[in-house]
Amino acid sequence: MTKIKPSQGAPYARIMGVGGYRPVRVVPNEVILEKIDSSDEWIRSRSGIATRHWASPEETVAAMSVEAAGKAIADAGIRPEQIGAVIVSTVSHFKQTPAIATEIADKLGTGKPAAFDISAGCAGFGYGLTLAKGMIIDGSAEYALVIGVERLSDLTDLEDRKTAFLFGDGAGAVVVGPAKEPAIGPTVWGSEGDKSETIKQTVAWDEFRIGDVTQLPVDADGEVKFPAITQEGQAVFRWAVFEMAKVAKEALDAAGISADDLDVFIPHQANMRIIDSMVKTLKLPEHVTVARDVETTGNTSAASIPLAMERLLATGEAKSGDTALVIGFGAGLVYAATVVTLP
């Protein structure tokens, strides 16, 4: 039997650089209240959200990704052509094929890297980070670019009182490269498909082609509604608070550290109440910096963790070398948690 040559990758992988992009337009709760019967106080008390960013027609999924990725590459101190893989996590790129990652890779001037999209909702950044880590250690790429990007304003039903205020747009990116010491811990990830109906798209795309349009949802003017994201808020809240705290603890255990060893906690920015409940359940010490980017950015799904990471580092609330626990969770239901050293 012929022996296959072993992989020649790095012993470990690390996040080398981070970048983010938030659309120019800032949307306060007052704009959301034009379509739903609610109040600014109710939205803030239920979600912690005061504002979010919505993209203009020019701020496409690709354009936002290129901006965020360019910053991450510069922060990592490498050249675009050194990127061997581009992984894009998104649920709001509306072309089934080709992958938006190929367009982004070309616009960045990366040469001919592996490029593909993944769909893992709000856990997508963690999924992409895990794949990138494997590539670096395997030797199939020297540097990998992981992008989380969403235009969730395109998938928001502004008449849905349960979700109209939740979602925002943006892109976050990191460069993953070789390391001499462990800097990305084991990933604790998984799925609970029996709960897939708790967060979902309202109408399948093919129903617009073959379905009876009289069965499709309509707005107040009788016009057929574009597909949107809907969720069972209470069910998702309970799952996130109780089950994801367990996953976060498993990630700490897998990395061989305790909550006392943490410097930073960066959970998916879904809801301030979920974040605060997880902090309490995990019994995080007061010295741990907690990302609460959701207040001004809203829920940006796959983009939320790298955007929050970028802001913490930019403001000095977190610093290079800090130990951070990151956890994403959402539609699927899927989740991914790991401990990382910040770039």
Q: Which of 53, 268, 271, 287 is catalytic?
A: 268
Whether 299 is catalytic:
yes
Whether 122 is catalytic:
yes
The most distant pair of C-alpha atoms in the chain lies apart, rounded to whole Å, by 71
Q: Which of 53, 93, 271, 299 is catalytic?
A: 299
HEC letters along the chain: CCCCCCCCCCCEEEEEEEEEECCCEEEEHHHHCCCCCCCHHHHHHHHCCCEEEECCCCCCHHHHHHHHHHHHHHHHCCCHHHEEEEEEECCCCCCCCCCHHHHHHHHHCCCCCEEEEECCHHHHHHHHHHHHHHHHHHCCCCEEEEEEEEEHHHHCCCCCCCCCCCECEEEEEEEEEEECCCCECCCEEEECHHHHHHEEECCCCCHHHHCCHHHCCECCCCCECCCCEEECHHHHHHHHHHHHHHHHHHHHHHHCCCHHHCCEEEECCCCHHHHHHHHHHHCCCCCCEECCCHHHHCECHHHHHHHHHHHHHHHCCCCCCCEEEEEEEECCCEEEEEEEECC
| Neighbour count for residue 11 (Cβ, 10 Å) | 11
Whether 93 is catalytic:
no
Strands 334-341 and 188-191: antiparallel
Q: Which of 29, 122, 271, 287 is catalytic?
A: 122
Measured between alpha carbons, how far is 174 from 16 in angstroms, rounded to an integer? 7
Measured between alpha carbons, how far is 72 from 50 in angstroms, rounded to an integer? 27
Catalytic sites, residue numbers: 122, 268, 299
